[in-house]
Structure 1
């Protein structure tokens, strides 16, 4: 089995904090998810997470107008410059301060960044292979050695700069600050221009922006005041005798958003359409048309404040982000419909489960919600909210259409994933909080265990009645699992035993397996012959299910331990809480086992040898507790660790100083969290194909795959690919290279010529070595050529070779190749129908000729025709003889 799994996607988290950015064409949305960035394709309904990660949560992102360079800055001011299309990291840099605003100029030559009270303008690094890069090479290649060059620094504000906005010609930019003012700055010294202060607001200014003609400036403050600024003479002067030197920026109009008990939190202005979008702390957003200030739309989309809003270039789609509940919305205001509506789990994940087909992942969390995620698109399909308390376990039935969940509210529920409804609820005779769950492979029996009781409850799925209560454990039941063949039920308990129950036998017997510590998790291999048991002392043991004897074992305390919290008095290697596995699962073939616990590591072991094959680090995000191996002594103060001190009372605004959180509470309410969430892995699961596994972590649902990474295109940077060079390559019998060059040029006639120029004996070699980035195009061309070309056997050879060598990939990525697979299926079905039709016609003709009366020369002629047809049929040839009665035509392939 392959073990080179790499991070491929992050589900379960769609927005954390920061700003949202659209791409230049407006079809993709970039959202910060913790210390990573997720790209949502709004047209193709897909999402993917960029592979690089920051050391803390991302607070600001900016995209170059060219659409290639992406600049991300975290909470500590560390910046990463990356290439968006190629998903590669280009450069690390530190801005040495907390960044509050970041934006590229429309021309793309500079970017402005607000760091506290000052503003810095930097030169934009050139993208590799771009025209700017070539120009920089002519100038001496300075940007290659110093990608970040500070151009100018601006000071004058007395409080944090909250927003920056460039003019359309990139000569000027506006800054809005918490010091109640907005200022106008010039990139380069302009004749007759001096930096201007726009004062008049009574609260912090959240946004300042230019109109399309740059003759008007709009400023918006926290109290909902909208001021219109124009370059005007004094109000009481005579327009004919006014001195031009007396003209300056003055307030020409005032408007107010009347929202009681709510403050303005974010605003965005679309200059070409004069569209103003504002978000408020009560979850309401409004759309106004300027300069008339006429209200176009108003809608409440969240239960908490809206943190950021973004408008695409066409002004049709509005993107909203709310960090309190992790919501991300894209709203088309003209049709009043949602383009995207996603929300992650509010609390930490507890468990997950793969569907038998591998295209769905179910997650459950302490917020009482069950979410169904599509692995191909990365989006949440449906959310179930029937449980009234935290959901602790979830499991699929064998057929994959029914989902079972266990909750702390004392119920076990069954959900229909076709109609998306709860159709059965199972309860115990007394109130219990269920913590473990197991489903019979037939889907007719469900079992649940609790930490409050020592019995195992078994229900019938058909009737919903309690069938039995299995007694025998002397401690809380921590884990349950049915053998895949349905022969036994395995239960693990804190009484240091694992019991094997024969629940379907005439007499329900149990065989206890004695261990040295409390049992935390039990996993069963797919062939129902072996058990994997994780205990509190960090041991991972493997037992024979039929014999009840231990076959192998390993000590995983040194592998899983790691990560020190600020309150820990011991080092990361000596903390007892991280020295055991809370979850363990087998791979599809049973050769490896995957385990995770309350640390930042996921361990992959070989079952046969007990060797640690790989050790995956879940996250390096320092915003989470438990990601550091060693604590920084500089963060230790006389009052304790700096991260545990409440600095909220030093805020300047009253609503920021108020503490609405419950005393001692870390979860369960929407209040602010004083303690950083701890990194842990409560659940891991392999996909049915074995080519990916997912882990439920504090960051979200992380997917690791062997197919991760950018697909290699050998001619991505080659400028010598022309039709003439392609034909010359084909003449030199370099068939694979010629076919790839033809695909690169995207010329149908050239592709057809290279495709048909491959000899039948080399088809398998070409298909085997073809870069995967061209697999979909080759399959599409073969399917279309099968419909239009008379070369029937040649096209079928291509299709057979593609499906034989890449069939597993086509199955694993059904969402990517669904359309082209349907084209192939349609073409093959049409050929099959035509062949059956011709065969039926030829069979009737042969029967007619064989039934001719014997006599004279006719008998000899019929026998000759029969022998001729049989001979041609054996050789796969074609018969077209006008002398034969019935006009027999037999097309071979």
Structure 2
């Protein structure tokens, strides 16, 4: 069995928070999913999660005009410039604070980022000049009196409109112009949500949070401003052309002082330039103000406008509100085209396709992402993940489908080849605790804490059987036998095992004997055996014969509470994970122990912010809550309340590989230690949150006795956990149901993106390269390793070459 598993795709989570946008061809939607980015192909109906990962959740993203570079910034201000061609991080940059918005200029030369009350304009990689400038600072604007929220570029890429929380919109220019410094537009009574330039014009549209839309007309044309190079003084041009030697170590104070010098030097110009300045000065005139949210706000005053987007070609304005309603207006007459309520939760982001026919909306609270075609009024894509964490999963016998259940009571079926969910069952009224597939792939069974066990048909997509107990029982697990005729479920509050006939839905037997909740059930996969293994918190595993009428069982005593029990694919061995962190293997026929694995130290401690004990004490509470055999039965996979998934070899009882499912520090218990700077005599300062905005409302107490929002609502970080792990029947992939979603790991993942051989020959093998290294043929060995394009082999060749031989022309001579 090969063990080169790599991350392949992320399912189960569609959208977390942040900006969504269309690609330049309009066929794909880019959505931030936690600290990862997923691209949904609407033409091919597929989803692909990029291999790029950040340390925190992404909040602001944008794509360059040529579609080759993706700029992604997380909630801590750490920016990554990602190549969409190779899915590699080109460069990194760290802003000091959270970035609210980022956008490339239409010509692709610059990009602007909003950070608190400051706007940074930086140079972007340009394909025309072939130069790459890693976040080189061009201009810095710090004129806003409050936090900057949105921005937009003019068509000529020389003018920038920036909206902020101080209810004003400011106009800046990238170049230093004599006749233009800064222009402020006021007139709104709430913070600005969106600012948009008209196409090939400086006319502006601003949208505020209370639903006001203002339209502004510029008194000069954009062409007059484009040819403003004549108006730039030679003195200022010399100041602008000064280059800084450093790329990343940019002194923002020097750039700000440079702007102040440009403003103060206007009085030193000659009279000719003053006349040109007076003649060409830019003025804005308000054409009108429209209240598009009055119909909603009259019914509920707490409803706020939370998202806005404008399509410059079709002049369509889309606005989303905190109650899940969005409007589509046609400007400049502000005619309502469509109005639709997509959910009951806030719309966090909106986007329009380049052609203007598709509209994308995202709701962060429920993790919903939909693409709607407003002309035909049809959904192009509608995907929604589980509202809360997933609790269980099951592979279909052919490995094509994965069924997941969650705390929200929903059961979803995912296609592993496309990454989309194509059916959702909502019959359960409480947490889904177990899911298992039938051997013939025609149906699957789920158990829930609502006291029901339901059978779902994958042909007609319906719940065709509901099985219950004589008295109300919370079922904690479910299992199907190899013939798919018997279904067994274990109780959590009543310590019995119930067996039904799937064909008739009749309760056949109630097995009693456990003295604690039944944690897991497993039927033998062998057709010749009818054994049923049950694990319980009473430190026992019982083996039952499901065909015989007697309720006698064989008991296996354990050293600690049993959490999971699984059969090997051939049915000749069972594995049991216990609360002490061990995995023990038994022979189901003789009940003898065959192997044991101690894996508590491999899980890692993972100290949370609220933990008051040391990591050493926290490690003693770790255990494998989910285990699974590989397809060939030689290895076992386990996961628990940790960010690690461990793969063990049963024969040698050693750890083969440890997979880190996430590095997202926006989740809790990712790090083993807490930063000592946050620990005070009053507790962990990371638990102190800033109560500012929530769902568009304000939770601060403004007046005595007056409260807005829910003062009891807290922003709690979810804790990283692995709820379930399962190998596919083919053994090529395995799935992990964790806090971030459903992660797929495959042996074939990343081959197209990493292994790119060049001019390979029959003798181009790693063994041949190592033979050349022994012969001290450094040149051919290095060239051959570059042809194979294997990182470990290249590193070995580079480190083996003596530094005395690394001179100009030596490698080339030896290669010849």
- TM-score by length of structure 1 reads 0.75
Q: 1:451 and 2:492 equivalent?
A: yes
Q: Which residue number in structure 2 is paired with residue 194 of structure 1?
A: 181
CA contact (8 A) 1:329 1:338 kept: yes
Q: Which residue number in structure 1 is paired with residue 94 of structure 2?
A: 94
Q: 1:399 and 2:449 equivalent?
A: no
- Deviation, structure 1 residue 639: 3.8
Q: Which residue number in structure 1 is paired with residue 110 of structure 2?
A: 110
Q: Structure 1 residue aligned with 2:552, among 481, 501, 509?
A: 509
What is the distance in 2 between the residues matched to 1:715 and 1:355?
33
Q: Which residue number in structure 1 is paired with residue 626 of structure 2?
A: 583
Q: Which residue number in structure 1 is paired with residue 51 of structure 2?
A: 51
Q: 1:633 and 2:676 equivalent?
A: yes
**CA deviation vs aligned residue, 1:333-378 (integer Å, no higher than 9, x gap):** 1111111100010111110000001010011001010000000000
What is the distance in 1 between the residues matched to 2:563 and 2:496?
17
What is the distance in 1 between the residues matched to 2:599 and 2:695?
49
- How many pairs align? 696
Q: Which residue number in structure 1 is paired with residue 42 of structure 2?
A: 42
- Deviation, structure 1 residue 770: 13
Q: Which residue number in structure 2 is paired with residue 211 of structure 1?
A: 198
**CA deviation vs aligned residue, 1:762-809 (integer Å, no higher than 9, x gap):** xxxxxxx999xxxxxxxxxxxxxxxxxxxxxxxxxxxxxxxxxxxxxx
- Deviation, structure 1 residue 636: 2.6
**CA deviation vs aligned residue, 1:515-574 (integer Å, no higher than 9, x gap):** 100000001100000011000011111111111100010111101132110111233343
RMSD of Structure 2 on Structure 1 (CA)? 2.4
Q: 1:333 and 2:320 equivalent?
A: no
Q: Which residue number in structure 2 is paired with residue 422 of structure 1?
A: 463
For the residue of structure 2 that corresponds to 1:338, the secondary structure is: strand
Q: 1:617 and 2:652 equivalent?
A: no
What is the distance in 1 between the residues matched to 2:631 and 2:356?
48
Structure 1 pair 307/573, CA: closer, same or farther in 2 (3 Å)? same
For the residue of structure 2 that corresponds to 1:266, the secondary structure is: strand
**CA deviation vs aligned residue, 1:82-132 (integer Å, no higher than 9, x gap):** 111211222222112110010011111111000000000111135xxx554
**CA deviation vs aligned residue, 1:823-845 (integer Å, no higher than 9, x gap):** xxxxxxxxxxxxxxxxxxxxxxx
| Structure 1 segments (4+ residues) deviating >4 Å | 243-247, 649-654, 658-663, 712-718, 734-737
For the residue of structure 1 that corresponds to 2:698, the secondary structure is: helix
What is the distance in 2 between the residues matched to 1:604 and 1:426?
36
- Deviation, structure 1 residue 650: 8.2
Q: Structure 2 residue aligned with 1:256, among 291, 302, 308?
A: 291
Q: Which runs of 5+ in 2 are unaligned?
A: 221-277, 701-706, 765-786, 790-816
Q: Which residue number in structure 2 is paired with residue 154 of structure 1?
A: 141
Q: Which residue number in structure 2 is paired with residue 278 of structure 1?
A: 319
Q: Which residue number in structure 2 is paired with residue 19 of structure 1?
A: 19
- Deviation, structure 1 residue 252: 1.2
Q: Quick check: which one's strand share is greater? A: 2
What is the distance in 2 between the residues matched to 1:509 and 1:679?
41
Structure 1 pair 185/95, CA: closer, same or farther in 2 (3 Å)? same
Structure 1 pair 653/368, CA: closer, same or farther in 2 (3 Å)? closer
Q: How does 1:479-878 map onto structure 2 within 5 Å?
A: 479-485=520-526, 486-576=529-619, 578-648=621-691, 655-657=698-700, 673-711=714-752
Q: Which runs of 5+ in 1 are unaligned?
A: 137-142, 234-242, 664-671, 719-728, 738-768, 772-893
For the residue of structure 1 that corresponds to 2:152, the secondary structure is: strand
CA contact (8 A) 1:449 1:480 kept: yes
Structure 1 pair 654/311, CA: closer, same or farther in 2 (3 Å)? closer
For the residue of structure 1 that corresponds to 2:752, the secondary structure is: coil
What is the distance in 1 between the residues matched to 2:85 and 2:401?
27
For the residue of structure 1 that corresponds to 2:722, the secondary structure is: coil
What is the distance in 1 between the residues matched to 2:198 and 2:757?
41
Stretch deviating more after TM superposition (607-616 or 572-581): 572-581
What is the distance in 2 between the residues matched to 1:603 and 1:247?
64
What is the distance in 2 between the residues matched to 1:308 and 1:483?
49
- Deviation, structure 1 residue 651: 8.4
CA contact (8 A) 1:67 1:84 kept: yes
Q: 1:83 and 2:83 equivalent?
A: yes
What is the distance in 2 between the residues matched to 1:325 and 1:538?
34
- Deviation, structure 1 residue 736: 14
Structure 1 pair 295/712, CA: closer, same or farther in 2 (3 Å)? closer
Q: Which residue number in structure 2 is paired with residue 228 of structure 1?
A: 215
Q: Which residue number in structure 1 is paired with residue 264 of structure 2?
A: none
Q: 1:434 and 2:475 equivalent?
A: yes
CA contact (8 A) 1:99 1:113 kept: yes
What is the distance in 2 between the residues matched to 1:561 and 1:735?
45
Structure 1 pair 704/673, CA: closer, same or farther in 2 (3 Å)? farther
Q: Which residue number in structure 2 is paired with residue 823 of structure 1?
A: none
Stretch deviating more after TM superposition (583-592 or 629-638): 629-638
- Deviation, structure 1 residue 441: 1.3
What is the distance in 2 between the residues matched to 1:654 and 1:49?
33
What is the distance in 1 between the residues matched to 2:318 and 2:620?
48
Structure 1 pair 184/588, CA: closer, same or farther in 2 (3 Å)? same
Q: Which residue number in structure 2 is paired with residue 365 of structure 1?
A: 406
Greater Rg over alpha carbons, structure:
1
For the residue of structure 2 that corresponds to 1:599, the secondary structure is: coil
Stretch deviating more after TM superposition (381-390 or 204-213): 204-213
Structure 1 pair 452/399, CA: closer, same or farther in 2 (3 Å)? same
Structure 1 pair 402/650, CA: closer, same or farther in 2 (3 Å)? closer
Structure 1 pair 263/714, CA: closer, same or farther in 2 (3 Å)? closer
CA contact (8 A) 1:577 1:598 kept: no
Q: Quick check: which one's helix share is greater? A: 1
- Deviation, structure 1 residue 263: 1.4
What is the distance in 2 between the residues matched to 1:342 and 1:705?
24
- Deviation, structure 1 residue 472: 1.3
What is the distance in 2 between the residues matched to 1:715 and 1:702?
25
- Deviation, structure 1 residue 500: 0.5
- Deviation, structure 1 residue 508: 3.8
CA contact (8 A) 1:396 1:404 kept: yes
Structure 1 pair 650/484, CA: closer, same or farther in 2 (3 Å)? closer
What is the distance in 2 between the residues matched to 1:572 and 1:50?
33
- Deviation, structure 1 residue 181: 0.3
Q: 1:166 and 2:171 equivalent?
A: no
What is the distance in 2 between the residues matched to 1:431 and 1:305?
37
Q: 1:375 and 2:416 equivalent?
A: yes
CA contact (8 A) 2:156 2:200 kept: no
What is the distance in 1 between the residues matched to 2:693 and 2:361?
29
CA contact (8 A) 2:698 2:709 kept: no
What is the distance in 2 between the residues matched to 1:654 and 1:44?
39
Higher relative contact order, chain-length normalized (CA < 8 Å, sep 6+): 2
Structure 1 pair 375/525, CA: closer, same or farther in 2 (3 Å)? same
CA contact (8 A) 2:358 2:374 kept: yes
- Deviation, structure 1 residue 660: 5.7
- TM-score by length of structure 2 reads 0.82
Structure 1 pair 108/509, CA: closer, same or farther in 2 (3 Å)? same
